[in-house]
Amino acid sequence: MANPTRILRVTTTVQKGGAGAHVKALHNAINQVSNFESHLLCPRDRLQENHAVPYAYGRSIANLNFLKTKFIGLDSYFESVWMHHFKKLIPQFDIFHLHHLQGYFFDLRSLKLLCDKNVVLTLHDVWPLTGRCSVLTDCDLWQSHCRHCPRLHVYPSTFIDLSRFLHQKKKELFKSLDRLKVVVLSRYSEELLKKS
């Protein structure tokens, strides 16, 4: 019998919110199929179940990254603990399913490590498409180049505007994924993806 296809689902948490409930339901459903094995990496959770990948110091790291985002503006960029941990996990999995990545744990640079891997990105919000925002309002700069962010107070809030730098890095890093598949959950999300 062939080994099951191993999937690593990466999300901030499965213990609250719509995205968390979606990931948990998908994880449980996939594990009912014998030729797949779904695993959860949720840095903000302390999951005590089979197929949970532990992330030591997740909440402590998230608190430090909150401060880094707030005072330096580097949301989800240059997080060495994440990079070190994630590098070790990559050889163990066949598919990487990325969900809700903001939450002060993820390092965008780790996408480079997945350039020849099967990667699925589910758009639960617009954070992957913008420099820093997870919810859109009347600003459409994300369609070309984020800059002079008018919403620095919105999650993930910051005092320093590095939206242009972060937007450019997201574009570069997501484009570097040779086998990236993007899943949209609505026609509205599909239209936003086309505009980005």
Per-residue H/E/C for 43-55: CCCCCCCCCECCC
Amino acid 76 reads S
pLDDT-derived band at 1 (thresholds 50, 70, 90) equals: low
Is a pLDDT exceeding 90 seen at residue 195? no
| Residues 97, 142: Cα–Cα separation, whole Å | 24
pLDDT for the residue 169 = 96
Give 93-113 pLDDT, tens digit per residue.
999 999 999 888 899 999 999
Peptide bond into 150 cis (omega under 30): no
CA atoms within 13 A on the CB side of 120: 16
Question: Strand order in 95-98's β-sheet?
Answer: 36-41, 5-10, 95-98, 118-123, 179-184
pLDDT for the residue 168 = 96
Collect all residues with Cβ–Cβ distance below 8 Å to 151 and sequence separation of at least 6: 133, 137, 139
Is a pLDDT exceeding 80 seen at residue 64? yes
